[in-house]
Structures are given as structure tokens and as C-alpha cells.
Amino acid sequence: MSIRILVADDEPNQLELLAYNLAQADFDVIRAGDGQQALDLIEEHRPDLAIIDWMMPQMSGIDVCRTLRARSETKWLPIIILSARGEEGDRTLGLDIGADDYISKPFSPREMISRVRALLRRAHPALADEILEFHDLRFNQTTMEITRGGHLVSLGPKESRLLAILMERPGRVFTRGQLLDLVWGHGVFVEERTVDVHISRLRKAINAPRINDDGTPNLIHSVRGSGYALRAPAEA
């Protein structure tokens, strides 16, 4: 399971250190060298968490945080503010403006990873779970066993990854481009229609009629002009 984290810092060495240690902890890392670039990349890639330095050119980390909290699509994005300013007043300002955590420089990489994982557990409990559950779907990510209403479902690796992404964040609409990045990876040239083909296979597998069952409610919904979302039948 790939958890995407954006790191924004205008100091190249600090940015490299953060990105390296997060990657070593199996996180997918996006890098930004200033505040405006951080906003642009967050809008494009929709990370699961952002680590933002306070002092950056063009837009400070505090202003980035304030902007993210004002937008409905990033209102609940977990944010960690980094700063060399360790005074209590600065820490209070960072938290009051909407940051979920505040870490003073210098810090140990081990502490950073621990704080990231703790914040992810609070903000996205499903991301830390080995077993994902939604409606009558159950996905054991350790054994890769998938069941629908207690019946085993056979999926290929790409369909399994798509299902895990949708189950980790039920209700969230993923664009085809986002799903391509998350499943096939950055920099891989694959047509967006490929996503439609694999979603169709995924739907067919998990919606197949079971024994003594006239049909199974569809859980994967197309959102016109946007992409796909996992929704319970009553929410469709």
C-alpha cells in the first residue's frame, strides 16, 4: 500500500534528507521547493499528508497551511509544519492556523517518521490497517484475500491495487490520472482508458452474482467528468 506524502522545503539538503528517510520508510514522496509549488502539487497529486517548512520563498508554510484549510478539498489534509523557530508562540501560531503537528529543527529522522505515522493513524485509520472493510467487502492486505459477502473474489494485481486504493478512502473521487499514478507509477506512459478497462474488470469480479443471489449492489461508481469512487448503495 503506497501512502503519498508531499514535502516542501526551500533548503535542498533538508528536502533531500526528508525525502530519503520517508522513502526508506516506504512512503511515496513528492517534493516542492517553495510554497506555491507545494500548493500546485497538492492540487495535482492529492497526497495523504503534507510536511511544510515555515520559512519558504514566494509563500510561507503558514500561508500554505492557511490556504489549504480554506479549500474544501484539502480542509482535512494532515499537515506537519517544520520550523527552526522553536518558541512557544510560534508553535501555538502554527497549530492555531490549522497544522496538525509542529516539529522544531533540528530533528531526528526517526522522530519525524514516528510523528508522520502517528498522524496518519489519527487522520486515516484505514491506511494503518492490514484489513480493509467496506459494506460487505473485506480485503486482507497481508494474505491478499478478498471477499464479498463472505465469498472469495479473484482479482489480478492491478485490480487488487485499484480496489485497495478505493477502500482506503471510501467516498473520495479519484481521477483517472490519479489512479494511473497510484497504480502504474509516475512517469509511466499509459493511456487513461486503461483505468476504465481495469475498473470494468474489477466491477465485474466484485459484482458477480453469488449462489442463491439475484445480483450484488454496485459499489464502484463513475462520477461524470471526474473519475471513480467507492460508495455504499444508499449513497449512490
Same domain, 11 and 30: yes
Rounded mean pLDDT of the chain? 85
pLDDT for position 87: 54
Could you identify the residue written with the cell 444508499? 234
Listed residues 126, 148, 170: the one ending a domain: 126
Question: What share of the chain has pLDDT > 70, as a percent?
Answer: 87
End position of a domain, from candidates 107, 126, 145: 126
CA distance 66 to 156: 42
Helix (H) or strand (E) holding 150: none
Q: What is the pLDDT of residues 115-158, one digit of tens each?
A: 898 888 777 766 655 788 888 899 988 788 999 988 999 999 99
- Contacts of residue 208, Cβ cutoff 8 Å, sequence gap at least 6: 216
Q: Of the candidates 86, 109, 126, which is a domain's last residue?
A: 126
44-84 per-position pLDDT tens digit: 888 989 999 988 888 888 899 999 999 888 888 999 998 87
Q: Would you place residue 5 in the very low, low, confident or very high pLDDT band (cuts 50, 70, 90)?
A: very high
SS3 state of residue 44: helix
pLDDT for residue 187: 60
pLDDT score for 215: 63
pLDDT (0 to 100) of residue 169: 82
Q: What is the pTM of this model?
A: 0.57
pLDDT tens for 192-231 read 889 999 999 999 999 876 655 556 788 999 988 889 999 8
Residues 79 and 187 in one domain: no
Q: Which residues contact 46 (CB under 8 A, 6 or more apart)?
A: 4, 73, 178
Given a cut of 60, whether residue 86 has pLDDT beyond it is: no
CA atoms within 13 A on the CB side of 35: 18
Does the pLDDT of residue 14 top 80, yes or no?
Answer: yes
Domain that holds residue 217: 130-235
pLDDT at 181 over 90: no
CATH of the domain at 226: 1.10.10.10
Which residue, 182, 181, 176, 178, is CA-closest to 200? 176
CA distances from 101 to 3, 119, 189 (A): 18, 8, 37
pLDDT in the model for residue 76 = 86
Strand order in the sheet with 131-134: 131-134, 137-140, 145-148, 151-152
